[in-house]
Copies of this chain bind each other. A is one copy, B any other.
Amino acid sequence: MKRVGLLGCGAIGTEIAHAIDSGKISAKLTHIYDFSKENSKKLVDSLTAKPIITENVGLLAASPVDMIIEAASQDAVRDDILTILQNRKDVMIMSVGALLDESILDIVLDGCEHFNKKVYLPSGAIVGLDGIRAVQDELDSVTLVTTKHPKALKGAKFFESYKIDPDNITSPTVLYQGSAQEAVRLFPANINVAALLSLAGLGSQKTQVKIVADPKTDKNTHEIQAEGKFGKFAIKVENVPSPSNPKTSRLATLAAIECLKKICGTSLNIGT
């Protein structure tokens, strides 16, 4: 049975830890770290099989685990991914947006090759990455349309530059249309989905993104269109927000749990 370490004991880390603790994932959570000791302790208290709280990330990376789950932040990916790979641990990354920074992506790719390790990125709040990866070499275009309630977009850099007040949007409004690269600068909350799609497909410069504010929706909706020699994909995902953290979609947590189940299982692996 795989031994797993957890970096980050917030809402998503806690849900993953509980999925392991309940036996849903065939693994043992043996070591955890969060920069907030309180978060770590709260998590340990809620688990039947108690993991060890390490003093720092370095000790988590050096602990006797087979893989580490990053559920902390983009900064954690930036600062700690190399240490983890150097300690010869596989990694599952939740804050995939960090990999849109090419210097971080290079560290990950080089680290995987050099230390013979794997880095896993669950599908997050979208579906169909199995297909996008398969046709990557013959894609002509990939477009993402994200529709959210204006409230869910509040605080984005976009509103500083464009002087639109999200509270005054009364009908579905296209706020942005352009490259994924620029989209994640203006709407950082959308970064994981844009990063996954860019990495699986055409990269962040060629992936087109449209952001729509719809005051009548209670879902986070992502529509993906992809075309090429193989044919066409049209994918629409309407996500219910996660009950424990309304900023993320329930699907993102479920995808992480499923990804881990697949990594840790010795059984049928369904899907590319």
Contacts and interface: CB of A to CB of B under 8 A. Distances in A.
A249 interface: yes
A270 B131 contact: no
Contacts of A268: 99, 108-109, 112, 119, 121, 199
Interface stretch (A152-160, A167-175, A234-242): A234-242
A262 B258 CA distance: 17
A127 interface: yes
A135 interface: yes
B272 A255 contact: yes
Nearest to A250: B230
A131 B128 contact: yes
Contacts of A130: 123, 127-130, 255, 258, 271
B113 A266 contact: yes
Contact of A233 (B117, B133, B235): B235
Contacts of A136: 258
B119 A269 contact: yes
- What does DSSP make chain A's interface, helix, strand, loop or mixed? mixed
A246 interface: no
Interface in A123-162: 123, 126-136, 138
Copies of this protein in the complex: 2
A270 B112 CA distance: 13
A119 B262 CA distance: 11
Given A116-B266, A134-B251, A258-B133, A200 B271 contact: yes
Contact of A262 (B131, B236, B259, B272): B272
Contacts of A266: 112-113, 116-118
Nearest to A220: B231
Interface string A162-192: 0000000000000000000000000000000
B236 A231 contact: no
25 contacts: A118-B269, A120-B269, A121-B270, A122-B271, A123-B131, A123-B272, A127-B131, A127-B235, A129-B130, A130-B255, A131-B251, A133-B258, A133-B270, A134-B255, A134-B258, A135-B251, A196-B271, A199-B270, A231-B238, A231-B250, A232-B236, A233-B235, A234-B236, A235-B236, A255-B272
Interface of A: 99, 108-109, 112-113, 116-123, 126-136, 138, 196, 199-200, 219, 229-240, 249-251, 254-259, 262, 265-272
